[in-house]
Amino acid sequence: MSKVVFSLWQNELIDNRDKSETECKESAFKFPVNFGDNATKAFIGWEGVAIFDKDIDVVKLSCEYAAQYQVYSEACGRCAPGRWGGRILYDLLDKIARGEGELSDIEHLKEVSQTMKETSKCEIGKSVPKPLLTLIEYFQNDFLDLIYNKKRSKYYDNSDVKYISKVTAPCMDACPAHVDIPAYIEGVKDLLLDDSLKATRKTMPLAHTCGRVCPHPCENECRRANVDEPISIMELKRIGADYEDSHGLNWFHPTTPKPKNGKKVCIIGAGPAGLTAAYYLALEGVHCDVYEELPVLGGEVAVGVPEYRMPIGKYNQDIELVRSLGVNFITNFRVKPDDMIKFEQDYDAVVVCTGTRLSKKVRCKNERTEIKGYWPAIPFLDQINLNIKYNLAEPVDLTGKTVVCVGGGFTSMDVVRCSIRANAKRVVMLYRRDEKTIIKNTSYEEYHEAIEEGVEFIFQSAIEEIFTDENDRLTKLRINMYEEQADPNGGRPQLVKVEGADFDLECDYLVPAVSQDADLSLLPKECEIDMTSWGTIKTDGTTYMTNKKGIFAAGDCEYGPMTIVNAVGQAKRAASCIVRYLESGEAKRNDDEIMEDSLRRLRVYNKKEKVSGWLKGLKREVSEKLDVESRKYSQEEVNFGFTQEQALYEASRCMRCYYIAMVAV
Amino acid sequence: MTTFYINGQKVTANKNDTILSVARREGFYIPTLCYLTKVKPISSCRLCVVEVEGQNGFILSCQTPPVEGINVITDSQKLFTHRQNIMKMYDVNHPLECGVCDKSGNCDLQNKTLDFEVSSQEFSAKEQKRVIENWGFIKYDESLCILCERCVHVCNEVVGDNALKIGVGGYKSRIVRVEDSSCSECGECMAVCPVGALTTKDFQYKTNAWELQKIPATCAHCSSGCQIFYEVKHVGSCEKSDKKVYRVTNDVDINSLCGAGRFAYDFNNSSVKDKDKFEKAIEAFHVADTIVFNSYITNEEALILQRLKEKFGYKLINSSALKYQKFLQEFSKSAGSMLYNGTIEDIKSADFAIVLGSKISSDNPIVKYALNTAQKNRRAEICYLHPIQDEDIKQIVTQHIKYEVGSEEGVVALLLQLFLNQENLEDSLKSYIDELDIGYLSAESNIGEEELSKLKAKSIRKQNFVLVIGEDLITHKRAENIAKLIGLFQKYTQFKVIIIPTQTNTLGVSLICDLDEKKGNYSIGYNVKGNFTLSCFDGDLSMPSLNQQEGTFTTIDKRVVPTNVAISYNGYCLNDIANAIGLNKKYTIDYTIELPHEKGFIKKSFDELSNFYNLNGDDNRGYALENKVVNSIVAVESVEDIGEFNGTVVYRCESVNQFNYNTFVSKNLANDSFLIGSNQFAIAAKIGDGDEVEFSIGENLIKKVFKIDKKLKGTIAMNPSFDRLLSDDWVSSSYRYQKVTIKRVEG
């Protein structure tokens, strides 16, 4: 809820201008009423406008909005209506604001707006006229006053009010790393694949990786879904990266790397978060030393995500990109509290990116880690991946064995599908909830591919007890079955045990893959770094600095076990704030980042919006997969990715839903 | 197949069709400004929007594939108003200089402004400073640019230079030339510009478009034989004054040209009939026992020479064509067809291409374009096997395999072993392949087995394979066995093979002429040095240039395509001489119908040959040669030991946009003929940038200025030969690599 003077957003009109305090209504939208520490005077964007301060100069506001579109929008100038129309809008509004306007200018404004709305290339050109027309309609007197009396608008020459704008899009807003998705898709469509890759790398250095194994939350907020089906956003990401790779071209960086500035940052952990932090710090000229406990780089994506999903050769390209900026990696180095104390003194800042690498227990009777055959997911996948990708561990051979995995997330899927490839006789996945939920938690593809490969899923089940033989070797599991009962209060359905449905499951291995904890034994006690209630490092959640100045944390060790893209997003933000911290001693978000967070609060995607101007019924493209028989026995990448034809088609479905939002502070 | 309706009429769409492509095919007009058939939809102009019954809003027809059953409306009052509004926008601040603009009369902006009845301007915007830039030979006038982006798309999707970008910035958006790009100055950007923003210095302010006469012709510079129009006009105001070629244009929607084709049009010869010289020529023909010539001639001229041989016993010497002829013959024997089976279209639609033994960026730009198209549109694997890495095609090539100079035969054997499907082979061939000493070949050619297995791995799941063979192989001393091995590719693998004809009409000459190995005592040279020389430049008797003749060429696509007279020639031509000494045909083109049928030529007279592409891009130029079946005999020899090729080596290789004397004389192209080498070469040869150097190839001393190219690596220098107006026959037929000792010329 937001207190407003006036607002028209989507279909909600609130007009409190002539109302007494008690009659005033609040808007249901979470507008950015504050901007950092300051109160916002007005907010204007693609769906309308919200005014929080009566004193706002609306003509100047509309003029500035047109100017922001015209001057700052990096996205446009690539279609006739946007290019010329935007300029004309601004010129006309400025003319009125200067006190030189005529009545006919309003008519021209409307006419140009109409053309822009109907035919601009991207949504930014289509949506900019909307709030302007709203202001002209609801604040008509303000405009007419200037025109009739030939006077300048109230604050035309006053520079106290700051106008801050940001270009966004529903998908960009939904992406934890805020990747400029329309730009990289446009690069594919235009076959300017270097541009595509540079657009991705503005906020996402792991283009190969997140072009393959991202759970793509962006696709849940893709506006194309309002027409037919969402764009296959993730798969289009790797096109640019593969181009760079296959031609052996020099690295395409989003900006020219700055020369070294003498600052030094220590990063602990070379997983997605550590790599991301290192990349963006190095781009800014900061020297980075990255300490990694494992003998290999890449963190969980290297030793957790299997080769058939994420070929290490491709991941190494992402890692080499980071290394190319002079980032120094130190492997086989487990950081201890003493080291931390030293790092704090030796470096200008420290970023902890150690992830969550302790498998949680399944919590059943007789669960002891020393049982032979009890093999938690993290060490299980470590061994498989260190063997297959690096030949640094003994191979895992499960011939003739039965493997039971308890899980329901991506890690458990990796466990069962790796077990199939390790030639297990039988592979069973136990999951507490139903099929629908497992698909929601992972992906449709992941679940169906596992079934095709022969994994058995037992839903709504849990282990009651583990049985072992005289050598403490696992023999069987007692399984309870559950059913879901709707929660009368509308919450998540309750799981209720089904009496008499218990059964025993003989097996050789039990692999718990039910989430992980962070191992934070590296933090010295005397540092007194605050923790969250779920055992991760506590930060302010916006700059990712801990309560200890100069110590930052990003990725799973901060958030808890989450996605790669989440780690990337946090680390990117942390890097940006660290650069400011190194300059000023204060970790602060910049205006753009404050806007980013404000817009996420408001939400850019509107599921109910009726979209026109796009032909309905163009099917989402699906890439070809390796056939089941070949993939069951090999580590070859399952997903072939899009062919060029498929990629071009899919890219042409993208509607470029850029929007521009602006606040007056 | 999708069935839908356009304005109520039932139509069908194929895979990859869009609403616009179907509409065009079916004859429905949808206006466009930025759309260009040969590249992907650009979608910047928004004129092509249509309505779809029952759906809200306008749909962009250029990029939208149709959906089953929809009814598309291509024109309505609403659409007209909308399109009119767009044109109003385009016209804002567009300079009113149509009176002097080169594009006037031929301008899409002008046409659409009139079509959509924009007669006045209701709004304006503050103008900003717009600059004029010189991009080499091309001029970019930002204020005339409507930012349709066609130029950027062709540079990237067709040419493969990626030299242009959109400098985005709202109203300030403009086209930017990328610094340090490999712009080959082909002029494609200018050719596709719908307005007057891109022009050449040569053409600017010289004439109005509507005064030019378009002569349909075929480019004379290389074997691609691209379709062109020579646009000509009288130089003076009176109709009797001399004509001049003002420019070359082409069907830009479908077709592309290289810089030579587009700019080297000024190579015509002006001469009048000099009876004395003609008499001397006839005398010389009576004395001569040999005719030396090259393949920058038409099929008809080649047939005249062949007839002269048949009637008077002249030896026909054209060593370059002879090498090609032998190569093709040996190839046919193992391939089982007279000609190779691939075409430029096959390259474009390939997803796996190997280029072997050609510096493709200058040897044949159209093949380079086709490879680029395959890479961009199909993400084809493009493997470039050559001793010299070519930085300029890095964006096209996905794997460069470097081999040792001289080891070409071994390289072909390695590839054969890699790609030949062993299962259906005859035993002899199987054992031939089995007995290949891969270790030795790999060591001697310096191609790692890893590189080969990487190449093989890339071919998995690919469907359209092409193998492009260049002159390095044709001029190799083991060319005949190499040709046989290549023939096996065509016969036993999925590869389609293309053997690039080295000169414009090498394929035609090699099919028409019965060529000889050795010269006699007295030779007539035709554009080649002889005892008596006929030449379009400064021979003993002046001859017409290729843009002054009618006739046909046989192209790389194995098509016989017609060319016409751009500028008439007032002197004597080969047919006049032939008639004077005993043949009898009124016009050179009377020979067209008589081109040898047994070689695949069709009995068609010159006037029966058309020269155009239709709206869908279908080739209606001349006819395709019939590829006759020949008995296939597998008789490959074992690979000869590979010799060493150390020290400083020069490579006969023309610079980009230069092919021969015809392009050399053009004042529109850069024509410096330097010896170009790497830093490493300079050190090895103990010479420096700018030094005048000399070296011998055979008995010939060559003098050149040496230049260092920082992008080059290795100890092979490029030695162009296009600057020789009248060269010896051997120049263009020797092995392209020569070991030389380079000396600095003091002083």
A547-577 pLDDT, tens per residue?
A: 999 999 999 999 999 999 999 999 999 999 9
> In the block, which residue shows the tokens 């959109």?
B166
Are B625 and B606 within 8 A, CB to CB?
no
A99-144 pLDDT, tens per residue?
A: 999 999 999 899 889 888 887 878 888 899 999 999 999 999 999 9
Are A258 and A281 within 8 A, CB to CB?
no
The domain B335-499 having CATH identifier 3.40.228.10: the answer here is yes
Are A650 and A621 within 8 A, CB to CB?
yes
> What per-residue confidence (pLDDT) applies to A616?
93
Indicate the length of chain B as a whole number: 747
Q: B121 to chain A: which residues are within 8 Å by CB?
A: none
Q: Do A615 and B59 touch (CB under 8 A)?
A: yes
Q: B49 to chain A: which residues are within 8 Å by CB?
A: 119
Q: A248 to chain B: which residues are within 8 Å by CB?
A: 394
User: CA of A463, closest CA in chain B: separation in Å?
Assistant: 45
The domain B2-75 having CATH identifier 3.10.20.740: the answer here is yes
Q: Quick check: helix, strand or coil at residue B323? A: helix
B166 touching A (Cβ < 8 Å):
yes
Closest CB to A77: pick one of B58, B170, B376: B170
Q: A121 to chain B: which residues are within 8 Å by CB?
A: 43-44, 46
A76 touching B (Cβ < 8 Å):
yes
Closest CB to A83: pick one of B126, B170, B378: B170
Query: Sorting pLDDT into bands at 50, 70 and 90, what band is A75?
Result: low
User: CA of B330, closest CA in chain A: separation in Å?
Assistant: 35
Q: Do B168 and A78 touch (CB under 8 A)?
A: yes
Q: Do B85 and A70 touch (CB under 8 A)?
A: no
Q: Do A80 and B89 touch (CB under 8 A)?
A: yes
User: CA of A449, closest CA in chain B: separation in Å?
Assistant: 21
How many other CB atoms are there within 10 angstroms of residue A269's CB atom? 31
Q: Do A616 and B157 touch (CB under 8 A)?
A: no
Query: Sorting pLDDT into bands at 50, 70 and 90, what band is A72?
Result: low
* pLDDT > 70? residue A74: no
B378 touching A (Cβ < 8 Å):
yes
Q: B125 to chain A: which residues are within 8 Å by CB?
A: 84, 87-88, 91
User: CA of A615, closest CA in chain B: separation in Å?
Assistant: 6
> What per-residue confidence (pLDDT) applies to B508?
98
**A632 φ, ψ (degrees, to nearest 5):** -60, -30
Determine the angle formed by the axes of helices A181-189 and A193-201, rounding to 10 degrees. 170
A406-443 pLDDT, tens per residue?
A: 999 999 999 999 999 999 999 999 999 999 999 998 88
> What per-residue confidence (pLDDT) applies to B126?
75
> CA–CA separation, B190 vs A33, rounded Å?
52
Q: Which residues contact A495 (CB under 8 A, 6 or more apart)?
A: A432, A433, A460, A482, A483, A484, A485
Taking a contact as any Cβ pair under 8 Å apart, which residues of chain B between 29 and 68 contact chain A?
40-46, 49, 52, 55-59, 63-68
User: CA of B443, closest CA in chain A: separation in Å?
Assistant: 24
Q: B156 to chain A: which residues are within 8 Å by CB?
A: 190-192
Q: Which residues contact A37 (CB under 8 A, 6 or more apart)?
A: none
> What per-residue confidence (pLDDT) applies to A459?
96
* pLDDT > 90? residue B423: no
How many other CB atoms are there within 10 angstroms of residue B605's CB atom? 12
CATH of range B121-263; options 3.40.190.10, 3.30.70.20, 1.10.1060.10, 3.80.10.10: 3.30.70.20
A80 touching B (Cβ < 8 Å):
yes
Q: Which residues contact A268 (CB under 8 A, 6 or more apart)?
A: A274, A290, A291, A335, A343, A350, A351, A352, A353, A354, A522
Q: Do B461 and A640 touch (CB under 8 A)?
A: yes
Q: A82 to chain B: which residues are within 8 Å by CB?
A: 170
A643 touching B (Cβ < 8 Å):
yes
Q: Do B40 and A648 touch (CB under 8 A)?
A: yes
> In the block, which residue shows the tokens 């470039």?
B384
> CA–CA separation, B638 vs B632, rounded Å?
18
* pLDDT > 60? residue A169: yes
Amino acid of residue B336: G
Cα A156 versus chain centre, distance:
39
Q: B70 to chain A: which residues are within 8 Å by CB?
A: 615
Q: Do A70 and B147 touch (CB under 8 A)?
A: no
With the CA atoms of B397, B399, B402 and B403 taken in that order, what torsion angle do they form, in degrees rounded to the nearest 10?
Answer: -110
**B640 φ, ψ (degrees, to nearest 5):** -75, 150
> What per-residue confidence (pLDDT) applies to B425?
83
Q: A111 to chain B: which residues are within 8 Å by CB?
A: 85, 122-123
Q: Do A77 and B398 touch (CB under 8 A)?
A: no
> CA–CA separation, A282 vs A262, rounded Å?
11
> What per-residue confidence (pLDDT) applies to A79?
74
Class of B649-744 in CATH: mainly beta
CA-nearest of B617, B629, B631, B681 to B651 is: B681
Nearest CA in chain B to A244: B395
Amino acid of residue B741: T
Please state, rounded to an integer, the average pLDDT across all residues of chain A: 93
> What per-residue confidence (pLDDT) applies to A76?
60
Nearest CA in chain B to A73: B170
Please state, rounded to an integer, the average pLDDT across all residues of chain B: 93
A487 touching B (Cβ < 8 Å):
no
SS3 content of chain A, % helix, strand, coil (to 5): 40, 20, 45
A26 touching B (Cβ < 8 Å):
no
Nearest CA in chain A to B395: A247
B116-136 pLDDT, tens per residue?
A: 999 988 777 777 788 899 988
A88 touching B (Cβ < 8 Å):
yes
User: CA of A457, closest CA in chain B: separation in Å?
Assistant: 33
B449-486 pLDDT, tens per residue?
A: 999 999 999 999 999 999 999 999 999 999 999 999 99
Q: B64 to chain A: which residues are within 8 Å by CB?
A: 614-615, 618, 652
* pLDDT > 70? residue B336: yes
Query: Sorting pLDDT into bands at 50, 70 and 90, what band is B509?
Result: very high
SS3 content of chain B, % helix, strand, coil (to 5): 30, 20, 50
* Percentage of chain B modeled with pLDDT above 90: 78
User: CA of A436, closest CA in chain B: separation in Å?
Assistant: 31
User: CA of B703, closest CA in chain A: separation in Å?
Assistant: 37
Q: What is the mean pLDDT of residues A269-295?
A: 98
* pLDDT > 70? residue A73: no
Q: pTM (2 decimals)?
A: 0.93
Q: B146 to chain A: which residues are within 8 Å by CB?
A: 80
Nearest CA in chain B to A615: B59
A256 touching B (Cβ < 8 Å):
no
Q: A88 to chain B: which residues are within 8 Å by CB?
A: 89, 92, 123-125
Question: How does strand A287-291 pair with strand A264-268?
Answer: parallel
User: CA of A238, closest CA in chain B: separation in Å?
Assistant: 13
Q: B152 to chain A: which residues are within 8 Å by CB?
A: 192
CA-nearest of B588, B602, B614, B594 to B559 is: B602
Q: A249 to chain B: which residues are within 8 Å by CB?
A: 394-395
CA-nearest of A182, A68, A196, A184 to A132 is: A68
Residue-range domain boundaries for chain B: 2-75, 121-263, 335-499, 649-744
ipTM above 0.90, yes or no: yes
Q: What structural domains does chain A harbor?
A: 2-170 (1.20.1440.230), 264-355+522-587 (3.50.50.60), 359-516 (3.50.50.60)
Q: Do B64 and A612 touch (CB under 8 A)?
A: no
Q: Do B57 and A249 touch (CB under 8 A)?
A: no
